[in-house]
Amino acid sequence: MKAAVLREVRTPLQIEDVQINKPGPHEVLIRTVAAGVCHSDLHFVEGSYPYPLPAVLGHESAGVVEQVGSEVRTVKPGDHVITCLSAFCGHCDQCLTGHMSLCVSPETRRGKEEEPRLLQAPGNMNQFLNLSSFAEQMLIHEHACVAIRKDMPLDRAALIGCSVTTGVGAVIHTSNVRPGETVAVIGCGGVGLAAINGASIAGAGRIIAIDMIGSKLNLAKNFGATDVVDASQGDPVAQVMEMTGGGVHHSFEAIGLKTTTEQAFRMLRRGGTANVIGMIPVGTKIELHGPDFLQEKRIQGSLMGSNRFPVDMPRFVDFYMSGKLKLDDLISRRIKLNQVNEALAELKTGELARSVIVFDA
């Protein structure tokens, strides 16, 4: 099969022929239909986060089940599925207490003594985040995908696999936004727009979108933002504090920078919660002011929206089909696999929401 391979950090992905194995007992072979190009992929390309190389990148995808292993009970050939990087075992303490996105059980991956899922002679080929979706096929654990209704367009379904689950989940699960509360979202890329959309679905009373690019702020209004703040025109914290008369109940940092993370904390009202969704580079230290903690302000991370994806993703599909979830506007353009490096380069400019690789294009 054709796949986009990262061989060295800070170098373009190479389109190569990669072999894919047959499904083991709990594994599923999927024909990839669509894969979003996410900023998280770019972090690994640029070396902000280390990963064993070479690897087939990609982690936001949807496709059609081709084969299943002998013990698979959750999907069957012909099912349309969305994948999720937070594969779960189903019986560790994290899973059994409802924190499936925090599962790190090794049994969702092949052991060192087993033949790897991806092969290329000579040498090894690493699977990326349990998925490797920049490829014509994926071989994954059955608990890394969920079947969805077949009338859902798969190019839009792919976005639910990461950006939507991360952004909407951070709002409804990690921070538990309640109707009428105030929300600020810093960064209006794919994840930030999903968080804005999630806040609208959750019934937030005021949703403030913050970015430095006017086109993204305009787009944020389509996703439910009631107010916008252009961070290039002055201190966004001061603007939010003035707008709200003392700060927001919930803030969401969707970029992954030291400065914006600190801003997210500073724009809280008393008792507010700052949620860090963005991937802050390894080694970065965040500075917070001690007296703020006496006002019961909190800051916390959010991993893939604290998801329970087998339940969440079909519901998000229903939200889209009923017009509540705005996926059409998240897709800036549809591309072929050999255009993946162009899409990664565009992420650096911050102009586009999401490019989606469509494999029959």
Catalytic residues: 38, 40, 43, 59, 162
Question: What is the SS3 assignment for 212?
Answer: coil
* Strands annotated E in the chain: 2-6, 14-17, 19-20, 27-37, 55-56, 61-68, 80-83, 118-119, 126-127, 137-141, 145-148, 182-186, 206-211, 227-230, 248-253, 268-276, 298-301, 333-335, 355-358
- Tokens at 201, concatenated: 């679905």
Q: Which of 67, 87, 81 is nearest to 21 (CA)?
A: 67
- CA distances to 260, 276, 348 from 46, rounded to whole Å, are 20, 21, 11
Three-state SS at 118: strand
Q: Letter for the amino acid at 188?
A: C
Q: Measured in whole angstroms, how far is the alpha carbon of residue 131 from the centre of its chain?
A: 13
Phi/psi class of residue 133: alpha, beta or left (left: φ > 0; alpha: ψ in -120 to 50)? alpha
Q: Which residue carries 């409802």 as its tokens?
A: 98
Give the Å distances, CA to CA, from 58 to 64, 93, 96. 17, 28, 28
292 DSSP assignment = G
CA atoms within 13 A of residue 80's CA, in its CB half-sphere: 16
Look up residue 30 and give its two tokens.
Answer: 């999927």
H helices of the chain, in order, are 39-45, 93-96, 154-159, 165-169, 190-202, 214-222, 236-244, 258-266, 309-321, 340-349
R_g over Cα of the chain: 20
